[in-house]
Amino acid sequence: MGEIIMKNLFANRVLNNDTSDLNEIFKNSANPENISFAGGFPDNRLFPDHALQAAYQDAINRGGQALFQYASTQGLATLRQKLAERMANHADVQVTADNIMLTQGGQQAIDLVAKLLLNHGDAMAVEGPTYMGALAAFDTYEPTYYEIPVDHDGMDIRYLRHTLKAHPEIKLIYTVPDFHNPTGTTMSLQRRKDLVALANQYDAIILEDSPYRDLRYDGTNLPAIKHFDTEGRVVFISSFSKILSPALRTGWLVADEPLIQALVNLKSATDVQSSSVTLAAIDSYLAHNDIDQHIANLNAAYQIKRDAMLNALDRYFPANVSFTRPAGGFFIWVVLPQGVDAKQLLKDVILPQAHVAYVPAACQFAHRKVTNGFRLNFTGLDPVTITTGIKRLGGILQHLNVD
């Protein structure tokens, strides 16, 4: 009873934030009896813990007492400088350190951009499906969502064009162009250009969320959407979570004026600054280690896991179930026959009988209406466990009763 009365005091903006289903899935995932493909976790064994320990030590030795003082909201200038160079070399984006702000993971950057732009009811476009953590952040600002489908070339730009024509009031377009969460697909070069042209035409901001960009197992990277930005409409965000460690809670945001200054002001109001100790440690890590070599090691390990999952899917999944073949990132998206509810199936059959978990489709769509799919993560488990889990899952899917 206490809980119900207390919830009457909650602001309207959080009333849609029902994460109970997800909480249950992740609780079940933690059970060691289950093989969980639900999380979006890097492999524990690949964290460079010794190098990070040395980096924290070095940062504290160099920084002395001053390191423990308050510091700038925008974040350590030498680290922003290194990231400006990385943006030029790895994303074809020419910016200065002044265009970069360090954030508490990419998640905070998403939240700040939403906080800056979205009034209650404002129109925004999101991919369908999309990153559920971004939906959780956006939900709090109560936007009106327009869902844009994703195909093997990323966001369907023709569909977006029609949507913008019908709803020119759309002010924000959120996309994960590289190894999309949850489908694993990458937006083609032409679509990147077309997207910027549409944003220019309809006076919209693009939020380019690209934490998986460097985790490519086949082929070569495309320039970031920000590369094609002619009017300062693209906010690019990325993160050290997937390439170094999520526990560092450090991401970065790249934007032009007036957006960057407004976002710095909002971060100041939110948490004053990120941890200067951690930022100095990352700066030291980058100065003394070859992060590109580290990323190459990650890619070699993750490629094996991706291939193990694709091989098992080819072998054990029935022909009426399709799945994506990502060239990088963390996830594979599975599409079940029409009419199947992946959430119900998980609860009733998959978890109790196969002891396997995934993230069902619905919570990854803004309108929560698509049910016949799920996301699989392949980075967190070893290849043998991946094969065992997919075999068990396939065993159930072989016997699906579809009308």
Positions touching ligand PMP (CB under 6 A) are 40, 105-107, 131, 133, 176, 181, 209, 211, 239, 241, 246, 251
Structure tokens at 238: 């990325």
143 versus 177: smaller Cβ distance to ligand PMP: 177
329 versus 394: smaller Cβ distance to ligand PMP: 329
Burial 235-255 (b: 16+ CB within 10 A, else e): bbbbbbbbbbbbebbbbbbbb
317 versus 374: smaller Cβ distance to ligand PMP: 374
Instruction: Tell me how far, at minimum, the Cβ of 234 lies from ligand PMP, in Å.
Output: 16
Instruction: Tell me how far, at minimum, the Cβ of 226 lies from ligand PMP, in Å.
Output: 15
Instruction: Tell me how far, at minimum, the Cβ of 287 lies from ligand PMP, in Å.
Output: 22
**Do residues 294 and 243 touch, judged by C-beta distance below 8 A?**
yes
Burial class (CB in 10 A: 0-12, 13-18, 19+), 144: middle
Instruction: Tell me how far, at minimum, the Cβ of 127 lies from ligand PMP, in Å.
Output: 10
Instruction: Tell me how far, at minimum, the Cβ of 137 lies from ligand PMP, in Å.
Output: 9
212 versus 228: smaller Cβ distance to ligand PMP: 212
186 versus 239: smaller Cβ distance to ligand PMP: 239
Q: Is the peptide bond before 182 cis (omega within 30 degrees of 0)?
A: yes
- What gap in Å lies between CA 169 and CA 344, rounded to an integer? 36
Instruction: Tell me how far, at minimum, the Cβ of 395 lies from ligand PMP, in Å.
Output: 29
Instruction: Tell me how far, at minimum, the Cβ of 64 lies from ligand PMP, in Å.
Output: 29
131 versus 217: smaller Cβ distance to ligand PMP: 131
Which residue in the shown chain puts its C-beta closest to ligand PMP? Answer: 105
Instruction: Tell me how far, at minimum, the Cβ of 325 lies from ligand PMP, in Å.
Output: 19
111 versus 229: smaller Cβ distance to ligand PMP: 111
38 versus 176: smaller Cβ distance to ligand PMP: 176
